[in-house]
Chain A
Amino acid sequence: MRNRFAATGRRGALTLLALVAVAAGLVLVVVAVAAQQSAPRPPRAVGRIDPSPTAGAAANPRASASADPVPAVSGPTSTPLGASRPVRITIPRIGVRSPVLPIGLADDGTLAVPQPGPDLDKAAWFQNSPTPGQPGPSIIEGHVDSDQGPSVFFRLGDVRPHDTVRVLRRDGVTAVFTVDAVRDFQKRSFPTSVVYGGDLHTPQLRLITCSDFDATIRHHVGNEVVFAHLTSTHR
């Protein structure tokens, strides 16, 4: 008799344990599946990097400048602005609206990146590059993801030529840029002079994030770069 009662009690406990474990397990698996997300993969190359309408195809017949049939973004390049730090970037197409911090070089000579902490998921402007609206390429970068998950430029791979990027400056002027091209470069062959240099005359913007995650070595081997030029300014 005692044996039977004991057996019944153990059966009840095991049933309860089994049900709870299975229910909790299912919930966790569903939660994990629901949390799966991945950054949009940028195209290898769309649009023309050289936006200058005056220095058109005839003046710049470099074959590498034209990557696909997307027509060059037209429209006048706006008059350059003076220096004033960027404070906020807005990219309507991908829902980005972020403060912009100044950032310098890391000890190894690469562009530093926002570090873990309150600024990790903010966009960062390379402080030795022109301020947005000044002549030359202004550089703004952002993480695609961090240990916290998707970051500020998570969806940068969805940006395409003709999209708009707005940068509010400390002087109250908003510099409006139109995207000319998107490139996906390999980090080991990153074209430094194309991204940080190039046309020094036209006010331009470059947006940079990571791309091409290599699962075997567990890091990103590519950098997506969005090329844009200034098309208007307003207060």
Chain B
Amino acid sequence: MAALETIQKLEILADAAKYDASCASSGTAKRSSTGGKGVGSTEGMGICHAYAPDGRCISLLKILLTNHCIFDCHYCINRKSSNVRRAKFTPQEVADLTLTFYRRNYIEGLFLSSGIIKSSNHTMELLVETARILREEHDFRGYIHLKTIPEADPELAHQAGLHADRVSINVELPTDSGLTRLAPDKNSRQIEGAMGGMKMAIRQSKDERKRFKHAPRFAPGGQSTQMIVGADAATDSDIVGKASRLYDSFRLRRVYYSAFSPIPDASAVLPLKRPPLMREHRLYQSDWLMRFYGFAPAEVMQATGEDGNLPLDIDPKLAWALKFRGRFPVDVNRAGREDLLRVPGLGTRAVGQILASRRHRSLRLDDVAKLTVSVAKVRPFICTVDWRPTLLTDRADLRSLLAPKQEQLELFAA
């Protein structure tokens, strides 16, 4: 076979990377290229340089080094037994491509992952080498996210952390049985062991930097992981539980959810239908509830239906509120932040503004309307000086009053 042109390899290896949800470039140390030899800066907030028609942000050059793989994970398009076109970049090619794009302000940096070739260690060496070329030879100060292979030597993982802003190890599936069944070459003990190792290294580096100014940084953007939703039988309850355990045990910055999507050459053990994209969205919302709204994992689980899944037609916060109507209405002029954050339709920003404004005036419904997107959604759950929902909160058909119209739903549903 004739050697592939760079542009063909880019097509194959970007295509192969598109099933990875993460593209974040935020939360790392501040850097600039001033005083250096190369390009690149990070200023805390990530930047999305473009958006694809799938609504996803394009922040990083997200590619695989190669899509050859000796593993045979059923949900993965690159598994050994799949029939896709294969290609392989050298570390130098990836570094050059990153710089070409970065200099034109197309990207914030690189998100590099890879299929496993020869061995986990060999593959990990190539990933680390790519980051090393960028950092050491080109003094690149942009963002680098490296996917770490749990089976690789911890020393290699350590080097990855020294070059990268963020490292991630995918847990892939929310249950062990799902992993055994769909990713027979992987093992959850090994994955979680590697995540634990990363956590220790990140913590140790932070500690050293407190004492020694020039101690090397280690993955200042922390670590994240990804779970595939809908490829196995795990319910939303299982997923929320697993995510919260991961946040607690490994101090993760983010858990990404990726709705299983039909992949070419899929394996026969996969489910018949792909899950609605809305399911992924609801999981992200529940993730937000836990991280920013003070919901305990058990409370999010209370919002799930009898089948253990979050409702698709309404968001989890509304679902929770409808189940616990006794907690409402909340008086916006008196209630504390925690209670206000429970009101469906009030975000963290609106709650902050209510708390600031009510020092100056007693809030009326009109005032609340100015601070929120939809007062109609908020109304049944609050009282103001001139408004009490009286019977509204207890109406049996409240859910149907607040759920979005069916036509709207179908735009998003599978």
Report whether chain A binds chain B. no
Point out residues on B near A: beta carbons under 8 Å.
Answer: none
